[in-house]
């Protein structure tokens, strides 16, 4: 893919991000932050690419693996913790008195 089209991707992605969050109730700031944070762990794909293309280069395999570990720590932890927070909100209406 050419550099120019990657720049287009960057531009459109940024615009999408700006559009997506218009009005967020303060209640959701913390979960939204941690959810978006989990998504930023998408670098795990880059780490995977690195490992696959390492072609037996052990130091590179190790760097890729450590990077993958960090990314997945971010992704898995981020989504779980967000779910835990949000579970507290959605539990409420059911035990309403």
Q: Which residues in the 49-68 window bind other proteins by CB under 8 A?
A: 49-57, 59-68
Smallest separation (angstroms) from other proteins to the CB of 83: 6
| Rounded Cα gap, residues 89 and 33, in angstroms | 16
Q: Maximum distance among all alpha carbons in the chain?
A: 63
Residues between 66 and 85 that touch other proteins (CB under 8 A): 66-85
Min dist. Cβ of residue 8 to other proteins (A): 10
Q: How many residues bind other proteins (CB under 8 A)?
A: 89
User: For other proteins, what does the binding mask look like between residues 10 and 49, x meaning CB under 8 A?
Assistant: xxxxxxxxx-xxxxxxxxxxxxxxxxxxxxxxxxxxxxxx
For 77-95, b/e burial (b = at least 16 CB within 10 A) is ebbebbeeebeeeeeeeee
């Amino acid at each position: 893919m050419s550099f120019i089209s990657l720049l287009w991707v960057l531009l459109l992605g940024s615009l999408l991000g700006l559009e997506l969050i218009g009005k967020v109730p303060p209640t959701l700031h913390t979960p939204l932050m941690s959810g978006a944070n989990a998504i930023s762990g998408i670098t795990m794909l880059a780490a995977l690419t690195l490992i696959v293309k390492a072609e037996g280069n052990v130091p590179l395999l190790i760097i890729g693996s450590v990077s993958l570990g960090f990314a997945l720590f971010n992704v898995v932890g981020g989504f779980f913790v967000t779910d835990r927070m949000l579970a507290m909100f959605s539990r409420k209406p059911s035990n309403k008195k």
